[in-house]
Amino acid sequence: MNIEELNTLKDNDAKDVFLNCCTASKWVDQMVNSRPFSNLESMKTVSDQHFSKLEESDWLEAFDGHPKIGDVSSLKEKYKSTKKLASGEQSGMSEADEVAIHEMADLNQKYYENNGFIFIVCATGKSASEMLEIIKSRINNEREVELKIASEEQIKITNIRMEKLA
């Protein structure tokens, strides 16, 4: 799909496309209604404008759209359940050994208990050890700090997914 095709989709079809980029319904609706886009850069600019107006509940809705790295089996199986645009994003974990997988699962559970949402990181291009270091560096942050960091990571992830559209 390219920008021209996205611009001409029926609203429901465009909604499905944007849901593959981010599951915050407010953002999705705004993106559908902001069409047409002249190019990828204009679409990303509009996306950033819409992201700047989201509230905590919207961010949490976006975070819920990510597979949870909460247990070992979901960590190993997550690539089978992710949508097309999310493919390969966390491939670094697929190369992890059992120790790293269990450590990530344990840290992710602690992170969730501390914050009430899953650990969000733009994992594209990161190894398992890099992701482990990132979660360790963030695990004791205040919830408000993590919400801000996670929202910034969500924007990065969404931008990568939008680039895959074009």
For residue 161, tell me if it sits in a domain.
Answer: no
Would you state the pLDDT for residue 88? 47
Residues 6+ apart with CB under 8 A from 111: 118, 119, 135, 138, 139, 146
Would you state the pLDDT for residue 144? 97
Name the nearest CA neighbour of 6 among 47, 53, 60.
47
In CATH, what number is assigned to the domain containing residue 127?
Answer: 1.10.3330.10
Q: Does the pLDDT at position 92 exceed 60?
A: no
pLDDT tens digits for range 33-85: 999 999 999 999 999 999 999 999 999 999 999 876 544 555 455 434 334 44
Q: Does the pLDDT at position 106 exceed 80?
A: yes
Mean pLDDT, range 3-10, rounded to an integer: 96
Question: Any idea which residues carry the catalytic annotation?
Answer: 66
Domain that holds residue 139: 67-150
Would you state the pLDDT for residue 93? 52
**Residue bearing the bigger pLDDT, 10 or 66:** 10
Same-domain pairing of 74 and 130: yes
Alpha helices in the chain (DSSP H): 3-8, 11-19, 25-34, 40-51, 56-64, 72-81, 91-94, 98-115, 128-138, 143-165
Determine if the pTM surpasses 0.75.
yes
Q: Which residue, of 27, 44, 62, is where some domain finishes?
A: 62
For residues 74 and 53, give the distance between their C-alpha atoms in angstroms, rounded to a whole number.
32
Same-domain pairing of 146 and 93: yes
What share of the chain has pLDDT > 90, as a percent?
69
For residue 155, tell me if it sits in a domain.
Answer: no
Same-domain pairing of 94 and 40: no
Same-domain pairing of 103 and 139: yes
Would you state the pLDDT for residue 91? 46
